[in-house]
Amino acid sequence: MASKAHPSAKAPSKTMLNLGNLPPRQKQAENKPAAYPRTPTRVNPNQPPWPAYRGYHEYSFAHATMGVRLPTILAKAINDVYQTLNQEYDEGRVLDLLDCVERMQQLMDDLHGNAKLRPIVDDGAGDVALWNKEIAKFFRGKDFMNAPWLFAEAYKYRRLRECFSLSKYWVEYDVFFRQKCDTFSRSAQAVFELAARFSEPQQIQSSTEKNKLIFLELTQICLWGNSTDLSLLIDMTEEDIKNLQSTGGEHLAATEKNILGNDLHKLADYVLTLKGGRVDFVLDNAGFELYCDLVYADWLIQAGICSQIVFHGKRIPWFVSDVTRKDWDWILNTACLHGHLFEDAPEEDMHQLRAMGRRWKQYEKEGKWKYEQHPFWCTGFSFWDLNNEAPDLFQYLSESDLVIFKGDLNHRKLTYDCHFPIQSTFPNAIGPMASDPGAPPVCSLRTIKSDVVVGIPEEVGARLDEEEPGWKISGKYAVVLLSAGNKGKDSAIAAQV
Ligand SMILES: O=P(O)(O)OC[C@@]1(O)O[C@H](CO)[C@@H](O)[C@@H]1O
């Protein structure tokens, strides 16, 4: 029998393991610099592939936007509501509108006080669950300044919507509608210049070279139409607007050198092979930019390149000047056809504008032009999540021959609004929108107005940083970037790009 007195029978005072053959101990995760790009499984809306831009980054446009621009935009919106209030007479409606103002003032306090992002109040709208799920999952405890800029800014516009959606009489009120209409009516010169050139049904030249030149010019018009952005250029004079919207051929030749990442010619080579195809526009701004989009889309139909164009707009007032259904109807019915916006315009000019407006309405009637407004476009998600969060929309887009994303915000959403190295390729920076099976050809037409920039040689970025600080927000530079998508190696674009 074993003796209890033997040393081996006693419990050891300390257990020692010899770990000499195991791999060396890892340093604490927090001491290790995070590796970028993040592996796909670690990517989420609070952790994009590269570090997100956030409001507290003083070097970024996020800081100025969250700290100064958004409160200014909101103050202007409150003034707009007061203008409406002063023209109202029914007491019930007046009091209801004053409640909206009170909610707007609360939002202003939250912005100034950098409040935590609270859930959206259930106003019965279909998007509430989506918003609150995203807040609970990724942004619990985050505030306006330390949440990723993309989300915090989108959230502000959803909160602004809530100010009205909780009312009795003002649910559909658009605080930006007045500004959007005003700016268009001050764009007369460029509006009539385009109408003069494109209102007559086009004799589309059979020579591909000629077609290509027109296509290149129209694409640039569509691109630079994005310069008139109300959220940035709040106090423009008529002269400023004219300069921004100058559409003459020489001007366009000169501006091509400001397209820093330029797939314009590849785009032309691909689009001009299409016959009776479908192009989708994910729209950006209402008014003059939308007008340029429509002129472009009109030509694509007349040239036989497309038999259908689908326009995607926003369900709610969004980033000040984004297109809503009301803006769409306004431009066709009022601005182009039946309104009296341009009082001093010669009859000939008005005639050309109306002729174009009539043709566009006819396209709509015949289903050649379709306006859609999927709720996903007004969420805080980037387009890296489009397939996951809105598979029906992804499926729909994947049936298109080309999806054109207009403007800066769409570009931020395509690229997750994060610190991608500038020389990253566009397909790499848009992730699943380029690589998921079925991803359509995607083109971004964007004047550069915020920090994330991709598809540009590193040395060009370095030179501009040195010589023109502020070049990323001036709107002077642009990109036209193309991704072939992932429709299989037999797709038409695979042969071109
Ligand atoms: O999408 P858009 O109209 O081209 O630009 C939107 C914008 O003005 O708003 C954001 C900042 O508030 C930036 O993305 C961008 O500068």
394 token code pair? 């992804």
Q: Which atom of ligand 1 is nearest to the CA of 321?
A: 3
Q: How far is the CA of 87 from the centre of ligand 1 (A)?
A: 31
Is residue 193 within 8 Å of residue 335, measured between CB atoms? no
- Say how many Å lie between the CA of residue 273 and the centre of ligand 1: 33
Q: How far is the CA of 208 from the centre of ligand 1 (A)?
A: 35
Q: How far is the CA of 280 from the centre of ligand 1 (A)?
A: 21
Domain positions in the chain are 61-165, 177-496
Distance CA 287, CA 292 (A): 9
Contacts of 477 (CB under 8 A, 6+ apart): 258, 259, 260, 447, 448, 464, 471
Residue 451 identity: D
**Could you confirm whether domain 177-496 is CATH 3.40.50.10880?**
yes
Note the pLDDT of residue 240: 52
Q: Which helix (H) or strand (E) holds 447?
A: strand 442-447
- CA proximity to 245, closest of 201, 199, 291, 305: 291
CB 228 within 8 A of CB 183: yes
Assign residue 326 a region: left if phi > 0, alpha if psi is -120 to 50, beta otherwise?
Answer: alpha
Residue 226 Cβ contacting ligand 1 at under 6 Å:
yes
Ligand 1 in contact with 229 (CB < 6 A)?
Answer: yes
Fold adopted by 61-165: Transcription Elongation Factor S-II; Chain A (1.20.930)
Altogether, the residues listed in the chain come to a count of: 497
| Distance from C-alpha of 303 to C-alpha of 301, rounded to nearest angstrom | 5
- The strand ranges marked E within 191-337 are 259-262, 277-282, 306-312
Q: What is the pLDDT of residue 7?
A: 42
> What separation in Å is there between the alpha carbon of 408 and the centre of ligand 1?
5
pLDDT for position 1 = 37
- For residue 357, the CA-to-ligand 1 centroid distance in Å is 28
Closest atom of ligand 1 relative to the 65 alpha carbon = 12
Mutate to test the pocket of ligand 1, among 153, 227, 449 (most ligand atoms within 8 A of CB): 449
Which residues, including other chains, have CB under 8 Å from residue 200's CB and lie 6 or more apart? 352, 355
Query: Closest residue (by CA) to atom 5 of ligand 1?
Result: 408
Task: Report cis status (omega within 30 of 0) of the bond before 457.
Answer: no
Cβ atoms of 230 and 285 within 8 Å: the answer is yes
**Is the beta carbon of 180 within 6 A of some atom in ligand 1?**
no
Per-residue pLDDT of the chain (497 residues; tens, 9 = 90+): 334 444 434 444 444 555 555 655 555 444 556 789 999 999 999 999 999 999 999 999 999 999 999 999 999 999 999 999 999 999 999 999 999 999 999 999 999 999 999 999 999 999 999 999 999 999 999 999 999 999 999 999 999 999 999 999 999 999 999 999 998 988 898 899 999 999 988 877 777 888 898 999 999 999 998 875 444 444 445 555 455 555 555 666 778 899 999 999 999 999 999 999 999 999 999 999 999 999 999 999 999 999 999 999 999 999 999 999 999 999 999 999 999 999 889 999 999 999 999 999 999 999 999 999 999 999 999 999 999 999 999 999 999 999 999 999 999 999 999 999 999 999 999 999 999 999 999 999 999 999 999 999 999 999 999 999 999 999 999 999 999 999 987 677 776 66
Ligand 1 center–CA 409 separation, angstroms: 5
